A and B are shown apart, each in its own frame.
Chain A
Amino acid sequence: MQVTDKLVEDLANLSRLSFNEQEKEEIKKDLQKMISFVNKLNEVNTDGVEPLLHMTDAVNVYREDIVQGSMRKEEALLNAPAADGNYFKVPKVIKK
């Protein structure tokens, strides 16, 4: 798989990131390396092996429907980059 400018641009768009030309070249190189690394795994014959979706055999890890564990609003908003006493704030996400 070839990492093209378009792929980097698409991924940047999906993650809401932006890169300048120089960064883009570096990212392309890094991504290409990652892909080669993961491609190595393709050399292993996995015929008849079910995909491993979880690292443990745990199933049915349920919680009862009980209300507990909420944090105080003040405490929650404390970690927000921007907040007003009630809401988390982000740059406007719709155009007027």
Chain B
Amino acid sequence: MPIPYEKYEAVIGLEVHAQLLTKSKLFSGDSAAFGADANTNISPIVLAYPGALPMLNKRAVEYAVKMGLACGCSIEHTNYFARKNYFYPDLPKGYQISQHTTPVCKNGFVKIRTANGERDILLNRIHLEEDAGKSLHEVDDRNTSLDYNRAGVPLIEIVSEPDMHTAEEAFAFVTELRKLVRYLGICDGNMEEGSMRCDANVSIRIKGEKELGTKVEVKNLNSIRNVKKAIEFEISRMIELVESGGKVIQQTRSFDASNDTTFSMRTKEEANDYRYFTDPDLPPFIITEELLHAIRAAMPPLPEELVRKYRDLLHLPEYDARVICDDAATIRYFELLIQTTTHAKAAANWLLGPVKSFLNDKGESMDEFTLDASSLATLIELVESGKVNFSIASSRIFPVMVEKGTADALEVATELNLLQNSDAGDIAQWVDEVLLGMPEKVAEYKKGKKGLIGLFMGEVKKLSKGKADPKIATQLLTEKLEQR
């Protein structure tokens, strides 16, 4: 009997940890940079020497608030840090400093787009906490080796409500979050290197039921694709388990990327007892109205706002607006372009056409693009004013300009002798030559086959090597054909 998957609904909540791009750690001055030699970014505070006192990094607070504002969260006024007590060698203190009762951001949402349209995924909270050190189990046969460089690096943990129902939604959620943290410049969003990490809580229930089923937590999801695959696997596993008479047990599972399955890491008999309490070493921090205003004022407009602006004010097609707003570098570049040219639609076409394909060919991303925006704007102006046509501009002038990095399109076009000729005399000669060479086609045209004008135009273009101003050429062609 086939398994009735459609009888069930999955309920998914995600916890995403994002390392903040601060220079120093959350409570100490050690560098927070990734990739340093083991145990070189550590201090008495990280190593929990007696008497060492933590001190809060202001920028980390600002970054967390930025994220909260971008997600429409309410921002907590009076914030406390709490100690989350657990005994494990990845944190020498014996506890992780986190936020418990007062997460800096509450509620809010992240807008996602899937095949089923647009939807807001509700957030529960975003809080600040410190990362733990790294345990290496393979360096040494008998021991676990510890590198405390990562211990104390600032994180925000973004906790969604159990508000997603498919792996696609989870995929879209993490994709949007990554875009957002990158756009805000608060995290590099690199899941492979672990600067953004995701755990998924998955449960199933019969469609229509209100109560949540027993949840399984899936860890070790080191790419957005794996988030999707792991959840897909987990949903099927649970449904098959229940359909065959089994029962889902609460456990933590790990994703195995070698075969796209999950396996049980540990079974939770009872909730961990973290014995949270307010950290007496850290005085509360207060997000005043002034600080909130200052952070808000320093924030760039959000991609969603820019999509609306490009669509409604610049009259770009929604699709173009969305593609531009897909990454921060393209937004920045487009914003520069439209400061120097009023031809927004043409600017979008250039960005999504020649620029994107140039970068694709080179396997580069937008922030590696070397031609400065004001130079590209001169090329856009040149095409829009009719001095060169688009295909010449993109195939001949554009590559030369990219090579130079900064260049004036008019100069390059003049140098290459590619400027369009608007001299009616010159164009008339080309037109005459074309018409003389094709008497039969001219006769057909006279009989009413007016579509042939395109053919004549093509020939004039060829003959003039693309330099004949198409407006004048069309006009002259029509006139001369009528006269014959």
* Secondary structure call for the B interface: loop
Other A-B contacts than A14-B85, A61-B285, 5 sampled, CB-CB below 8 A, are A61-B56, A64-B57, A71-B43, A86-B145, A89-B145
How many residues on chain A are close to B (CB under 8 Å)? 37
Q: Which of B2-10, B215-223, B276-284 contacts A (4 or more CB under 8 A)?
A: B276-284
- Residues from chain B with Cβ under 8 Å of A53 in the complex: 80, 278, 280, 284
Question: In the assembled complex, how far is the CB of residue B185 from the closest CB belonging to chain A, in whole angstroms?
Answer: 13
Question: In the assembled complex, how far is the CB of residue A24 from the closest CB belonging to chain B, in whole angstroms?
Answer: 19
A88 sits at the interface (CB 8 A): yes
Whether A61 contacts B39 by the Cβ 8 Å rule is: no
**Could you mark each residue 125-142 of chain B with 1 if its beta carbon is under 8 Å from any beta carbon of chain A, else 0?**
000000000011101101
With A60-B286, A92-B137 in contact, do A67 and B23 touch (Cβ < 8 Å)? yes
Whether A73 contacts B286 by the Cβ 8 Å rule is: no
Whose C-beta in chain A lies nearest to the C-beta of B283?
A58
Which B residues are within 8 Å of any A CB, using their own CB? 22-24, 28-31, 37-45, 47, 55-61, 80, 85-89, 135-137, 139-140, 142-148, 273, 275, 278, 280, 282-286
Whether B144 contacts A69 by the Cβ 8 Å rule is: no
Give the distance in Å from the alpha carbon of A87 to the alpha carbon of B108 in the complex.
41
Whether B29 contacts A92 by the Cβ 8 Å rule is: no
- Residues from chain B with Cβ under 8 Å of A15 in the complex: 87
Whether A89 contacts B143 by the Cβ 8 Å rule is: yes
Give the distance in Å from the alpha carbon of A89 to the alpha carbon of B87 in the complex.
15
Give the distance in Å from the alpha carbon of A39 to the alpha carbon of B58 in the complex.
39
Whether B284 contacts A54 by the Cβ 8 Å rule is: yes
A77 sits at the interface (CB 8 A): yes
A3 sits at the interface (CB 8 A): no
Whether A66 contacts B29 by the Cβ 8 Å rule is: yes
- Residues from chain B with Cβ under 8 Å of A67 in the complex: 23-24, 29-31
- Residues from chain A with Cβ under 8 Å of B137 in the complex: 92-94
Question: Can you list 10 contacts pairing A with B, beta carbon distance less than 8 Å?
Answer: A53-B280, A62-B57, A64-B59, A70-B31, A73-B39, A87-B38, A88-B89, A89-B146, A90-B144, A92-B142
